[in-house]
A = this chain, B = another copy of it.
Amino acid sequence: MNQSDGHASDVDLTFTLLVAAQKVQDRIEAALDEHGLSLAKLNVLKALVGAEKPLSLSEVASRLACVRSNVTQMMDRLEADGLVRRQHDPADRRSIVAVITNDGREREAAGSRALEAVQASVTESLASFDSAHIDQALRSL
């Protein structure tokens, strides 16, 4: 007998992990959808709120660890949603900064609360297990 000792439906831990993460992701997206947000959009708004000042699109890309063209398109959608405004940087005419709107701030707050609720629910689901142990295991990957 190898890794499985037959207590469950005998699927590899790898896919169990992937499926679990997908379920959590789906819960998050569903919760944010009620506020007209996605996790990707919320992350941009969080970056802007956290910075406490407008950020250039390159700065946003760097903080989100993604590629610049991704941010360009993300900003198109956020601007269409009225959550962010593009503004030319007078200091460097190559640069464009993203300014969060009042609507953007409100949605960030609502979205963050919704996200925290999901996190709390996930944490609670795992509370009956040894969370520290699971945490270490997942980090070891």
Contact = CB atoms under 8 A, between A and B. Distances in A.
A14 B8 contact: no
Number of this chain's copies in the assembly equals 2
A12 B123 contact: yes
Interface size class of A (residues with CB under 8 A): 35 or more
A91 interface: no
A129 B138 CA distance: 10
Contact of A13 (B12, B14, B22, B126): B126
A5 B132 contact: yes
A18 B17 CA distance: 9
Given A13-B122, A25-B18, A7 B141 contact: no
A23 interface: yes
B119 A12 contact: yes
A20 B135 CA distance: 10
Interface of A: 3, 5, 7-8, 12-25, 118-119, 122-123, 125-141
Given A125-B141, A141-B23, A134 B132 contact: no
A23 B139 CA distance: 10
A14 to B, nearest CB: 4
Contact of A138 (B16, B131, B133, B141): B16
